Chains A and B, each alone.
Chain A
Amino acid sequence: MKNKEILLYAQETLLKAGAQKTKCSLTKKEKNELNVASGEISLFRTTFDTNMSLTAIVDDKKGTISLNKLDKENIDATAKQIIDMAISSKSDEANDIAEMQPAKEFHKEPIKPDLDKMYDRLVEFMDFAKKEHPKTIIEEINFDFTSTESYFVNSNGVDYKTTKGIYSFVVMFTSKDGKKTSSFNYAAHVSKSLDTPFSKCGNIDKLLGESSEQLDTKHIHEKFVGDVIITPECLDSFVGSLTNYLYDYSLITNTSVFKDKLGKQIASTSFNLHSKPVSSDIAASYYITGDGYEAQDSTVIEDGILNTFLLGLYGAKKTGKDRAVNQGGCWEIASGDTALEEIIKSTKKGIVLKRFSGGNPSDNGDFSGVAKNSYYVEDGEIQFPITETMVSGNLVEMMMNIKQISEERINSGYHNYPWIKFDGLTVSGK
Chain B
Amino acid sequence: MINIDLKKFEEYFTEYTELRMQENRNIRLTMVNGDMMGNNRSSNSGISARVYKDGSWGFASNADTSDDAIIKVIRSATENANFLSTRENLEKAELPKTNAIDSKDFSTAKPRKSQKEMIDFLNIMDTHIIKEFPKLSSRTIVISNLDMEKKLFTSDGAESYSMTPRTILYVVMTVMNDDQPFELYEVYGGLGQFEDTFDKPEVLFPKLKEQYEHLINKSEGVYAEAGMHDCIMDADLAGILAHEAIGHTTEGDIVKGGSVAGDYLGAKVASDLVTLVDFAHTALDEQCPVPVYVDDEGTKAEDAIIIEDGVLKKFMHNKETALHFDHEVTGNARAYGFYDEPLVRMRNTAILPGKSKLEDMIASIDNGYYLMKSSNGEADSTSEFMFGVVMGYEIKNGKLGKAIKDTTISGVAFDMLKTITMISDDMAWSCGGMCGKKQGIPVGMGGPAIKCKVNIGGK
Residues on A lying within 8 angstroms of B by beta carbon are: 35, 37-38, 40-51, 61-69, 81, 84-86, 88-90, 92, 94, 115, 119, 123, 137, 139-140, 142, 172, 174-176, 179, 181-184, 223, 249, 252-255, 314, 318, 357-360, 362-364, 366, 368-370, 372, 387-388, 390, 392, 426, 428, 430
Contacts and interface: CB of A to CB of B under 8 A. Distances in A.
Contact of B32 (A183, A249, A359): A249
Contact of A387 (B339, B384, B438, B457): B384
A23 to B, nearest CB: 13
Q: Is the interface of A mostly helix, strand, loop or mixed?
A: strand
Contacts of B387: 359
Contacts of A363: 174, 180-183
A37 B253 contact: yes
A390 B457 contact: yes
A174 B59 contact: no
A75 to B, nearest CB: 12
Given A46-B80, A47-B339, A428 B226 contact: yes
A392 B458 contact: yes
B109 to A, nearest CB: 23
Contacts, number: 245
Nearest to A361: B406
Interface of B: 32-46, 48, 55-64, 76-77, 80-81, 83-84, 87-88, 90, 114-116, 119, 137-138, 140, 174, 180-183, 226-228, 253-254, 256-260, 263, 339, 341, 375-376, 378, 380-382, 384, 386-390, 405-408, 410-412, 438, 455, 457-459
- In the complex, which of the residues A35, A44, A89, A318 has the most CB atoms of chain B within 10 Å of its own CB atom? A44
A49 B63 contact: yes
A3 to B, nearest CB: 13
A94 B87 CA distance: 56
Contacts of B411: 388
Nearest to A87: B116
Contacts of A176: 258
A137 B410 CA distance: 25
Given A46-B80, A119-B87, A183 B46 contact: no
B226 A392 contact: yes
Contacts of A43: 56-59, 84, 341
B115 A85 contact: yes
Contacts of A115: 83
Contacts of B381: 139, 174, 181-184
Given A45-B59, A49-B63, A67-B42, A369 B408 contact: yes
B406 A366 contact: yes
Contacts of A174: 257-259, 381
B446 to A, nearest CB: 21
A359 B376 contact: yes
A84 B115 contact: yes
A369 B408 CA distance: 6
Contacts of A90: 34-36, 119
A48 B63 contact: yes
8 contacts: A47-B61, A65-B40, A67-B43, A183-B381, A249-B32, A253-B32, A253-B138, A364-B182
Contact of A370 (B33, B140, B386): B386
Nearest to A183: B380
B258 A392 contact: no
A363 B375 CA distance: 13
A47 B69 CA distance: 12
Contacts of B46: 49, 68
Contacts of B382: 181-183
Contacts of B39: 62-64, 85-86, 88-89
Contact of B388 (A68, A142, A359, A428): A359
A63 B227 CA distance: 49
A254 B32 contact: no
Given A40-B88, A68-B44, A390-B457, A255 B174 contact: yes
Q: What 4 A-B pairs are tightest by C-beta distance, nearest first?
A: A359-B388, A139-B257, A368-B457, A88-B116
Contact of B119 (A47, A88, A318): A88
A133 B228 CA distance: 36
Contacts of A387: 384
A364 B115 contact: no
B175 to A, nearest CB: 10
Given A44-B59, A65-B41, A388-B455, 14 more contacts: A42-B84, A43-B56, A66-B44, A85-B41, A88-B39, A89-B36, A181-B382, A182-B382, A252-B37, A254-B138, A255-B181, A357-B410, A368-B458, A370-B408
A362 B35 contact: no
Given A359-B389, A364-B180, A69 B257 contact: no
B115 A41 contact: no
A88 B41 contact: no
Contacts of A41: 56, 84, 87-88
A45 to B, nearest CB: 4
- In the complex, which of the residues B40, B226, B457 has the most CB atoms of chain A within 10 Å of its own CB atom? B457
A88 B61 contact: no
Given A44-B84, A184-B380, A359-B387, A390 B408 contact: yes
B376 A64 contact: no
A360 B228 CA distance: 21
Contacts of A179: 263
A364 B258 contact: no
Contact of B43 (A42, A63, A68, A123): A68
B226 to A, nearest CB: 5
- In the complex, which of the residues A47, A184, A252, A363 has the most CB atoms of chain B within 10 Å of its own CB atom? A47
Contacts of A85: 39, 41, 115
A233 to B, nearest CB: 16
Contacts of B84: 41-44
Contact of A38 (B43, B228, B256): B256
B59 A46 contact: yes
Given A45-B341, A428-B226, A142 B32 contact: no
- In the complex, which of the residues B37, B42, B411, B438 has the most CB atoms of chain A within 10 Å of its own CB atom? B37
Nearest to A252: B32
A419 B213 CA distance: 43
Contact of A369 (B77, B256, B438, B457): B457
Nearest to A368: B457
Contacts of B41: 64-66, 81, 85
A20 to B, nearest CB: 15
A46 B60 contact: yes
A170 to B, nearest CB: 9
Nearest to B34: A90
A115 B330 CA distance: 35
B60 A45 contact: yes
B40 A42 contact: no
A388 B56 contact: no
B257 A140 contact: yes
A194 B33 CA distance: 49
A254 B56 CA distance: 52
B119 A89 contact: yes
A386 B152 CA distance: 47
Contacts of B61: 46-49
B410 A62 contact: no
A64 B40 contact: yes
B115 A223 contact: no
B174 A253 contact: yes
B226 A139 contact: no
Contact of B459 (A37, A249, A426): A426
Contacts of B259: 174, 181
A44 B405 contact: no
Contacts of B115: 63, 84-85, 88-89
Nearest to A50: B63
B380 A357 contact: yes
A41 B81 CA distance: 11
- In the complex, which of the residues A37, A94, A370 has the most CB atoms of chain B within 10 Å of its own CB atom? A370
A370 B410 contact: yes
